[in-house]
Amino acid sequence: MTAHPAAPSTRIAIADPAADDLPLRPAIEDAAMRVLRSGRFILGAEVAAFELEVAAFLGAKFVVACANGTDAIALMLSAAGAGAQDEVLVPANACVPVAAGVRLSGAALRFCDVDADTLTMDAASAQRAITPRTRFLLPVHLYGGVADVEGLGELARSRGLILLEDCAQSHGASLRGRRTGTFGLAAAFSFYPTKNLGAYGDGGAVATDDAGLAERLRRLRQYGWTSRDRAEVEGRNSRLDELQAAILRAKLPELEKANEKRRAIAHRYDSGLEGAPLTLLASRPSSIPAAHLYPVRTRRRDALRAGLEARGIETAIHYPVPLHLQRAYAFLGGRPGDFPVSESACETVLSLPIRPSLSLADADAVARAVREVLARA
């Protein structure tokens, strides 16, 4: 019988926001106290300043903050005029909140496949999936990589569609020097605590260069009000609170440095796993990824995950079930085999630890452990 190695006394966690934020703790505490002393907690000066600072970071004209990333998708679509008869094309290999945001807007969902190299929306599959009802393309910059926004943008222009972006995992990523979130009419962001720019609770935002859309977003996020108690359109309650905005403002100036640490870990994995019996994802040419996650692909995923767990290394599966096979969306008639690349990804992807507080030595240890486990699996 082969003995399994004992788990180390210190686990290597896949996410550790508290450790990531340790160098920023004084600035974060000062920001929180500033809000507590102000007595203003909803849509005040902190939110307004955060919106301006994120817009400047992205190179966008407007940013409108909201309660979470799912609402950001719903509000973005509603502000762009999505209705019940309009289809929104999304990749089947994505997180459920993407589909939930589309449904909350009242629009219809339609799926397409992803390309095998980056696991982001495939332009050829998207083109085949378009119907007379399709109005929006919503690529997801999954894992912190950059989707084919150039090819999809050309497809949108040729077919009279509107390109939107889901940037929940791509804070700071860029293509040819241009940040994700600036390639379409608008882009949705999430500030969930484990994101590259994470709050201490939920938070979201929409970026756009369209002044009219930005104004509609501001109304929709707060009951449709044009002024207090005067609702011009039906809206919702989706406001980023002042405390989260202040914390995010404290963290935003360090985002690029944190992303550089993530990319250094990703490069270490690339080198340490070269030649191993698994598939690494590719970055789009001329792009700089945000390295939000580091997924590898292997048909021996369960054995690899168990072997790493035995060595005290935490992993995660992003994502185990493609959207077209989720029970919640069975009414759309999705069947196994509809989107083979997405289905294969969901069966083979395993995310390794990647975060700013992870040391390069720990990254090397993870890579060695992966090779050891696969050699025995």
Closest by CA to 183, choosing from 203, 154, 160, 204, is 154
Residues 6 or more apart whose CB falls under 8 angstroms from that of 153 comprise 163, 183, 184
3-state helix, strand, coil in the chain (%, to 5): 45, 15, 40
Residue-wise pLDDT tens digits, 160-193 = 999 999 999 999 999 999 999 999 999 999 999 9
Residue 88 CA to its chain's centroid (Å): 18
Mean pLDDT value across residues 308-317: 98
Residue-wise pLDDT tens digits, 80-95 = 999 999 999 999 999 9
Residue-wise pLDDT tens digits, 347-356 = 999 999 999 9
Q: Is 346 helix (H, G, I), strand (E, B) or coil?
A: helix
- Residues for the chain: how many in total? 377
Query: What CA–CA distance (Å, rounded) separates 340 from 151?
Result: 21
Residue-wise pLDDT tens digits, 93-125 = 999 999 999 999 999 999 999 999 999 999 999
Query: What CA–CA distance (Å, rounded) separates 67 from 75?
Result: 11
DSSP state of 144: G
Query: What CA–CA distance (Å, rounded) separates 373 from 327?
Result: 34
Q: Is the pLDDT of residue 46 over 90?
A: yes
Q: Which runs of consecutive H residues, i.e. helices, occur in the chain?
A: 17-20, 25-38, 45-58, 69-79, 96-104, 123-129, 149-159, 211-220, 242-251, 255-272, 301-310, 340-348, 360-376
Helices (H) and strands (E) in the chain, counts: 13, 15
DSSP state of 42: B
Q: Which residue has the tokens 């096979």?
A: 325
Q: What is the pLDDT of residue 2?
A: 45
Local confidence band at 10 (pLDDT 50, 70, 90 cut-offs) = confident
**Using omega within 30 degrees of 0 as the cis cutoff, is the peptide bond preceding 319 cis?**
yes
Residue 228 CA to its chain's centroid (Å): 33
Q: Is the pLDDT of residue 55 over 80?
A: yes
**Kind plus residue range of the DSSP H or E element containing 63:** strand 62-66
Q: Is the pLDDT of residue 333 over 60?
A: yes
Q: What is the pLDDT of residue 69?
A: 98
Tell me if 72 sits within 8 A of 101, measured CB to CB: yes
Q: Which residue has the tokens 């399994």?
A: 4
Q: What is the pLDDT of residue 291?
A: 98
Q: What is the pLDDT of residue 7?
A: 46
Token pair in block for residue 369: 């452990």
Residue-wise pLDDT tens digits, 220-261 = 999 999 999 999 999 999 999 999 999 999 999 999 999 999
Q: Is the pLDDT of residue 209 over 90?
A: yes
Q: Mean of the per-residue pLDDT values for the chain?
A: 96
Q: What is the pLDDT of residue 6?
A: 46
Phi-psi region of 84 (alpha: psi -120 to 50; beta: other; left: phi over 0): alpha
Q: What is the pLDDT of residue 256?
A: 98
